[in-house]
Amino acid sequence: MSRQGLVLFVLRRLLALAILLTTVSFGVFSLLYLAPGSAEQVLLAGRPAADAETRNEIRERYNLNDSFAEQYALWAKGAVRLDFGQSIRTGEPVLTAIKDRSGLTIFLGVYGFALAMLAGVSLGILSAVRSRTSADRGIVMFSIVGASAPVFVTGVFLLYAFAVLLDLFPAFGQGEGFLDRFWHLTLPAVALAVGGSALVVRLTRAGMLGALEQDYVTFARARGLSARRVLLAYAFRNALIPVVTAGALVLSFMLTGAALVEVTFALPGIGALLIDSVNFKDLPMVQGLAMVLATVVILINLLTDILYLFIDPRITYSEGTA
Amino acid sequence: MTAVLESRARSLPRQAILETRGLAIESRIGGRRRTIVCDLDLSVAAGETVGVVGESGSGKSMTARALIGLLPQGLSARGSISYAGRELLQLPERELARVRGSEIGLILQDPFTMLNPLLRCGRHITEVLERGDARGVSRRARRAEAVRRLAEVGIAEAVDRYPFELSGGMRQRVAIAAALAGDPAVLIADEPSTALDATTQKEILALLKSLQEARGMGLVLITHDLRVAFAICDRICVLYAGSLLETGGTAALEVEPLHPYTLGLLLSEPPGDRRLAELAAIPGVVPSPDDVAEVCSFSPRCPWAQPICRAGRPPLEPVAPGRLSACRRIDEIRSEMRQRHATVVQPAPPRDTPAVAAPLVEVELVEKVFGDTSSRRVQESVVALAGVSLEIGPHESVGLVGESGSGKTTLARCLVGLETPTSGRISIDGIDATDYDALSTADRRRLRRTVQVVFQDPYSSLNPVRSVGSTLREAIELYNPRSARHARQVDALLEQVGLPASYAVRKPIALSGGERQRVAIARALAVKPRLIVCDEPVSALDVSVQAQILNLLSSLREELGVGYLFITHDLPVVRQVVDRVYVLYRGEIVESGPVDEVIGAPRHPYTIRLVDSMPRSSPDWLAASAPPGAP
């Protein structure tokens, strides 16, 4: 695919991203609008006897008296200037709050992703190479258990086993400095990684088994290439497309999984922020988070599609497929 | 001929470089042990070309794999394979890997799956050069070497291209260069030209032969095609159901085969230079080696079989100078075989040309363009048919010959309404059949009763979950809903195609390829069509089975008066079944006429090249190679 074609492809996809974000923002906005309860009820929750004036003041401040369309238009006007308003709960600007919390979640997500891919790919290759042995069966069994265990169950189990019983890792806190943080976030990252790695194991194994049966692998071995080269440059590279697809899914899952893991391990990341904000009906915050998360997921997918191009020279994105 | 014999005999070196003794290959899947090959003695010397000829199920491909120590999982080899004094079966994997590529090379059948789709062609060669101690060589020097190696196979320009950018023949050249990158002393070629078009096949065989001679390499050519083996081998070993039935020098073996199977195989091959009244098909199918372990493996299908043939397995014994045969009765039946060889190849009298009548099918200037035809993307569209006109008379059998990509299958699909031509007109039995969708239901039904189709691959053209009987019943009911005697009609159809009525309850998976193709033909016959479009109906079948199906088609034509549009790339085959032939090249008819005239005296350069590419055993066949790329 030509460089120009690639640029066009990316531009088209970015346009699609803008359309998608608009749709998502409108969807989230309407759902929150329709959900029972409103901001002033939450803000006044502790003071049931609040007078009408206070109530009205709050409604005015958050534009709650405007029509739905006006409210959305007001929000959208700010959003295009990357101003997502202020949190109802804390009064902090939404973007600042998200920025403050994102460091932890990014660390956790990347850590978990790396663990999931590392374990998933190596176990997947191992199980394909040793197919029909007890090692293979054990790995397949692990992948079934891993795929079916919910993140919070894995999390609680890990906490109990490694923090409480063995006391190898801390049970809470996010640590100071890189190494300390690394140590603190190991258990949450493992909890996040288990489900994803199970998926990667299965797809790697299936892809490798398929590739190892191909004529080009036989032909490579017949030319006396080393076992390592046959395994990596031939079998694994050809099995890479489904693995990368799984990688994108796993990375997206790190975001949704973060909500569960951060609550389980009491970590103040984006996931925890999202849950708090939804509970509080903190509409600007939820809306802002939804935008950020949607953008990240869409960009991950775009990145995956571009990655395909580098893996397989046969793939091109012609006009109309974007 | 004798001169050739002598010169070949003289060039025969004594010392075998790769040799097997009592090689046995077994599979063991789920605790069941099956024999693939047993007691196989093969040898090849430096500078010698040995052909291993066999049909599917003979074990020839697994033998090739065993020779290089690459049997698939679940298969194991016993006996002895020695290379230059070393016993390969005893070698640990690490040392065996060093033998592969630099001592013994292997190329496989399918050029479309043999190369790594993600690596550039040049990389396939440099990665072999990089093995072991050659690491010090600079990147640029390695690349130059890759270009030199690709130039040796005539395709230096492919060095920076990916395999998917090349045609099958070009990919096979790249594969050959890659297999030879480690300069092996012996090359094993497993059906290296089978997946290619006739003209490309000849180029690849000529290339292999010239490389073998230039390098003084031993070449083991594994093939199902005796004609190919005759054309390039010094010695031939005939493999059947896992054991050797005959070996001998090529010239002597071609003149007089000394095993009934070899004779049968030879006679099953439709000759390219004449039409036979009937091909001498071998009845039945190749048995599994375990079913014939204690008897002569060919005895169930042999016309000369006697009780003595079933008393233990006959050994391969010398029967003439330089000739080995596993036939116990060869001395008794030798003259009979010679006689049969002589009579069967007698040409049939020329067919009467059918009386001139209004044509059943008229195709006028049909064009078919695939892809987007809008002006913006003209370069993305593919012209499959560029104004094709042809006629098929009632009861007439017409051939359509062309290579892959010539548009022959597209034309067939247009005729039966599976594609709609972009322009032009098709008329069948007076109905305008250009666009099946535009027809009334009644007309469409009439067309389908007039023209039926048999596809190439009998393994995918039958619904695997339905029994043969229900497939046929469906075809009958569709056009004869009121008929009540379906069961009897099914039996009659099966009998017509030479299958027992008991096959009605079987599922396709329980049938062999030839039997499936018979069922597909029966399904086409169910509506009593006047024309059957046969799209490469025998190219997926073994030679002996192919002859059975060709004979069936001929006899059906005589009994039922059904006509054929016979689409094929195989000239000898088309000569046996059709009256007239059209030659299709890049979407255009370049030549047409009575089949004997077109094949006997081709006029268009492409037809000449096609006729020239039919394998012949004369030594000048490979030498007289047209430059690649010429039409």
pLDDT at A45: 66
Edge-to-edge strand ranges of the sheet holding B75-83? B32-45, B16-29, B75-83, B86-87
A223 contacts in B (CB within 8 Å)? 100-101, 105, 128, 178-179, 181-182
pLDDT in tens, B154-187: 988 889 999 998 888 899 999 999 999 999 999 9
pLDDT at position A202 over 60: yes
- Asked whether the beta carbons of residue A216 and residue B97 sit closer than 8 angstroms, the reply is no
A229 interface with B at CB cutoff 8 Å: yes
Average pLDDT, chain B: 86
The C-alpha atoms of residue B396 and residue B160 are separated, in whole angstroms, by 50
Question: Which range among A106-120, B127-141, B258-272 shows the weakest confidence by mean pLDDT?
Answer: B127-141
Chain B CA closest to residue A318: B380
Check: CB of residue B363 under 8 Å from CB of residue B415. Answer: yes
The C-alpha atoms of residue A164 and residue A168 are separated, in whole angstroms, by 8
Of B98, B105, B118, the CB nearest to A222: B105
Q: Where in chain B is the domain with CATH 3.40.50.300?
A: 1-103+219-346, 361-600
- Asked whether the beta carbons of residue B164 and residue A314 sit closer than 8 angstroms, the reply is yes
A234 contacts in B (CB within 8 Å)? 116
pLDDT at B6: 43
pLDDT in tens, B459-487: 888 998 999 999 998 888 877 777 667 77
Nearest C-alpha of chain A: how many angstroms from B208? 17
Which residues neighbour B483 within 8 Å (Cβ) at sequence distance 6 or greater? Answer: B476, B477, B489
What is this model's ipTM? Answer: 0.81
The C-alpha atoms of residue B209 and residue B206 are separated, in whole angstroms, by 5
A265 interface with B at CB cutoff 8 Å: no
pLDDT in tens, B193-230: 887 888 888 889 999 999 999 999 999 999 988 888 99
Nearest C-alpha of chain B: how many angstroms from A241? 12
The DSSP annotation for B251-301 comes to HHHHH--SSHHHHHHHHHSPPSS---SS--PPPS-PPPGGGGTTS-TTGGG
A321 interface with B at CB cutoff 8 Å: no
The C-alpha atoms of residue A294 and residue A21 are separated, in whole angstroms, by 7
Chain B CA closest to residue A215: B114
A99 interface with B at CB cutoff 8 Å: no
Read off the pLDDT band of B244 (50, 70, 90): very high
pLDDT at position A123 over 60: yes
Q: How far lies B236's CA from each of A210, B49, B418, in Å?
A: 36, 9, 45
Percent of chain B's residues with pLDDT above 90: 39
pLDDT in tens, B79-133: 999 998 899 999 998 899 989 999 999 999 888 899 999 999 999 999 998 876 6
- Asked whether the beta carbons of residue B164 and residue A216 sit closer than 8 angstroms, the reply is no
Separation of first and last alpha carbons in chain A: 14
Domains (ranges, CATH) in chain A? 94-280 (1.10.3720.10)
pLDDT at position A37 over 90: no
Check: CB of residue B492 under 8 Å from CB of residue B447. Answer: no
pLDDT at position B2 over 50: no
CB-defined contacts A:B, below 8 A: 79
Question: Which range among A63-77, B10-24, B431-445 shows the weakest confidence by mean pLDDT?
Answer: B10-24
| Range 8-27 of A in CB contact (< 8 A) with B | none
B68 contacts in A (CB within 8 Å)? 222
Q: What dotted CATH number matches B361-600?
A: 3.40.50.300
A237 contacts in B (CB within 8 Å)? 116, 118
A224 contacts in B (CB within 8 Å)? 97-102, 128, 131, 182
pLDDT at B275: 81
A91 interface with B at CB cutoff 8 Å: no
- Asked whether the beta carbons of residue A311 and residue B118 sit closer than 8 angstroms, the reply is yes
pLDDT in tens, B372-385: 555 444 456 788 88
Residues in chain A: 322
Question: Domain B1-103+219-346 belongs to what topology?
Answer: Rossmann fold (3.40.50)
pLDDT at B1: 42
A226 interface with B at CB cutoff 8 Å: yes
- Asked whether the beta carbons of residue B105 and residue A218 sit closer than 8 angstroms, the reply is no
Nearest C-alpha of chain A: how many angstroms from B241? 24
The C-alpha atoms of residue B42 and residue B236 are separated, in whole angstroms, by 10
pLDDT in tens, B524-583: 999 889 999 999 888 878 888 888 889 899 889 888 889 999 999 888 888 888 889 999
